[in-house]
């Protein structure tokens, strides 16, 4: 029963889409277990580039069944347009399964996300504005709408009424907005029911049966470890658990079933939105990483904040996820630097700190302590094995592995499926 979890080890955009797609041909199921269309996963196959938001990256592998688990929040209009976009490009999406227990991102959740951010002003999180936080808030408040509710109009109406009761008070009295009409929301949601019906399933049962039948299941995280609601840089986080435990709750599979946890780790660091980021660069190096790495958000088109590799964060990701392997991505982007600084510890109030501080205030004050490694100038994008890499690139990878606490089992040297060095097999 091989069950693998693949997740972001930093602040997202590590290259999860590429890594999942690479494994997609050898696994039977790829499951998204949290997040929603705040995710933007890029997959490059030959000369074709796909940007996936809600659909698991396994959707591009014909033998693989893509699954949207119960822990995901689903915006039906986004899902349907993503499906039709892929169909127009000749991708068969008929195998998709969606959990009936997944929560729906309603139009009012999107509105609340946007007005809340505006209201926060300079304290805003910098969310993607896709209604993610308010939808998870409704779920925890027990006023959420689930996929299964689309199939019972009377229940749906009662639930939308309950959800809008308080929200309309807040929208009109606090935010000076117009109230949202229950019927309008119900009508829009019911309109999606028939189109989604072929995909809705008891995904918990399907996945557990698949594992019993020795099928290979890959759980694909959205976002990254440091954006986790419990283990990330709260409050500058997303509202779900991309960390490994989230795969169990977000898909209904017990922890005893998980055999491997792969952390996707960029060879440097990026972040989108607000929040602390100790190795962030505001100089030409940061600009160069952004330009060479193409660091622009897939979902919102915002420039990503860029900085050097942070080993403290990588070690933390190893710990909170129980990582068994790393997939190091974008090593090719570092080609051309004579010296590459790597953050090995922090200095907080004059003291050297080796591990991520639990205190938010301390993390805000953390200054990176750098060690500098020699760079390389040779093109590495054609490298097929570790020994094809220049000595200094090999040493950079070995140094990161030693600092990060888990073996680096694959290395990305370009965005394409085949631009990967496989060191240890994942399956």
Binding positions for IMP are: 13-16, 38-41, 128, 142, 223, 238, 302
Omega within 30 of 0 (cis) for the link into 235: yes
Q: Considering 103, 139, 167, 266, which one is annotated as catalytic?
A: 139
Residue 364 bears catalytic tag = no
Interface with ligand IMO (CB under 6 A), residue from 38, 57, 109, 279: 38
User: Exactly one of 5, 6, 8, 265 binds ligand IMO (CB under 6 A); which one?
Assistant: 8
| Residue closer to Mg ion, measured from CB, 220 or 325 | 220
Q: Can you spell out the DSSP letters for 139-167?
A: HHHT---BGGGGG-HHHHHHHHHHHHHHH
Separation between Cα atoms, residue 19 and residue 219, nearest integer Å: 12
Q: Contact at 8 Å (CB) between 267 and 333?
A: yes
Query: If you search the block for the tokens 């020699």, which residue do you land on?
Result: 374
- Is 275:233 a contact under the CB 8 Å cutoff? yes
Query: What would the two tokens of residue 14 be?
Result: 């590590």
- Which 39-58 residues touch ligand IMO, going by CB under 6 A? 39-41
Binding mask 163-202 for ligand IMO (x = CB under 6 A): ----------------------------------------
- H helix or E strand, kind and range, residue 217: strand 217-224
276 contacts ligand IMO (rule: CB under 6 A)? no
Is position 53 annotated as part of the catalytic site?
no
Per-residue DSSP letter, 239: S
Q: How far is Cα 179 from Cα 108, in angstroms, rounded to an integer?
A: 10
User: How far apart are CB 32 and ligand GDP at their closest, in Å?
Assistant: 12
Look up 13 and say whether it is catalytic: yes
Instruction: Give the residue carrying structure tokens 């209009």.
Output: 77
Residues 275-304 that bind Mg ion (CB under 5 A): 298
Q: Residue 218 and residue 28: Cα distance in Å, rounded?
A: 8
Q: Which of 21, 41, 103, 149 is the catalytic position? A: 41
Assign 96 to helix, strand or coil.
coil
Instruction: Name the CA radius of gyration of the chain, rounded.
Output: 22
Nearer to ligand IMO, 126 or 375 (CB): 126
Closest to 73 in 3D by CA, of 17, 20, 33 = 33
Instruction: Look up residue 413 and give its two tokens.
Output: 């040297």
- Copy the structure tokens of residue 106: 């309603």
Residue selected from 97, 413, 421, 426 as contacting ligand GDP according to rule CB under 6 A? 413
Sole window of 34-42, 93-101, 174-182, 371-379 interacting with Mg ion (rule: CB under 5 A): 34-42
**Is the distance from CB of 69 to CB of 85 less than 8 angstroms?**
no
Which of 19, 185, 200, 227 is close enough to bind ligand IMO by CB under 6 A? 227
Nearer to ligand GDP, 17 or 131 (CB): 17
273 touches Mg ion by CB under 5 A: no
Q: Binding site for substrate: what residues are annotated?
A: 298-304
Report residue 42 as tokens. Answer: 């890029």
Judged by the rule CB under 6 A, the positions of this chain that interact with ligand IMO are 8, 12-13, 38-41, 125-128, 130, 132-133, 222-224, 227, 238-239, 272-273
- Binding residues (CB under 5 A) for Mg ion: these are 13, 40, 298
Q: What is the binding site for ligand GDP (CB under 6 A)?
A: 8, 12-18, 40-42, 44, 294, 298, 329-330, 332-333, 412-415
Which residues participate in catalysis according to the annotation?
13, 41, 139
């Amino acid at each position: 029963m091989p069950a693998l979890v693949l997740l972001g080890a930093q602040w997202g955009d590590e290259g999860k889409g590429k890594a999942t797609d690479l494994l997609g041909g050898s696994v039977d199921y790829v499951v998204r277990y949290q997040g929603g269309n705040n995710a933007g996963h890029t997959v490059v196959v030959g000369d074709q580039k796909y940007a996936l938001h809600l659909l698991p990256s396994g959707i591009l592998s014909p033998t693989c069944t893509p699954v949207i688990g119960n822990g995901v929040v689903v915006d039906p209009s986004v899902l349907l347009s993503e499906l039709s976009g892929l169909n127009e490009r000749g991708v068969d999406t008929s195998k998709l399964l969606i959990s009936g227990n997944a929560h729906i991102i309603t139009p009012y959740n999107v509105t609340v996300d946007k007005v809340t951010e505006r209201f926060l002003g300079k304290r805003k999180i910098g969310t993607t504005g896709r209604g993610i936080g308010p939808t998870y808030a409704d779920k925890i408040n027990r006023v959420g709408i689930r996929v299964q509710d689309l199939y019972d109009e009377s229940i749906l109406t009662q639930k939308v009424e309950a959800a809008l009761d308080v929200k309309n008070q807040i929208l009109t009295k606090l935010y000076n907005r117009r109230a949202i009409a229950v019927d309008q929301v119900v009508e829009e949601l019911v309109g999606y029911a028939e189109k989604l019906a072929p995909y809705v399933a008891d995904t918990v049962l399907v996945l557990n049966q698949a594992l019993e039948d020795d099928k290979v299941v890959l759980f694909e995280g959205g976002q990254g470890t440091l954006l986790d609601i419990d283990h990330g840089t709260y409050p500058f986080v997303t509202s779900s658990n991309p960390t490994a435990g989230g795969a169990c709750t977000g898909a209904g599979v017990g922890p005893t079933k998980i055999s491997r946890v792969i952390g996707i780790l960029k060879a440097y660091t990026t972040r989108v939105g607000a929040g602390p980021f100790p190795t962030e660069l505001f100089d030409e190096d940061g600009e160069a990483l952004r330009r060479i790495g193409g660091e622009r958000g897939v979902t919102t088109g915002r420039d990503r904040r860029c900085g050097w590799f942070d080993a403290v964060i990588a070690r933390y990701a190893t710990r909170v996820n129980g990582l068994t392997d790393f997939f190091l991505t974008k090593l090719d982007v570092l080609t051309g630097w004579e010296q590459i600084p790597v953050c090995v510890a922090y200095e907080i109030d004059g003291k050297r700190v080796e591990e991520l501080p639990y205190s938010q205030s301390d993390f805000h004050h953390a200054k990176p302590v750098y060690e500098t490694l020699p760079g390389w100038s040779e093109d590495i994008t054609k490298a097929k094995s570790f020994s094809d890499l220049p000595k200094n690139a090999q040493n950079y990878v070995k140094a990161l592995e030693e600092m990060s606490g888990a073996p680096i089992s694959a290395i990305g040297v370009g965005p394409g499926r085949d631009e990967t060095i496989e060191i240890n097999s994942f399956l």
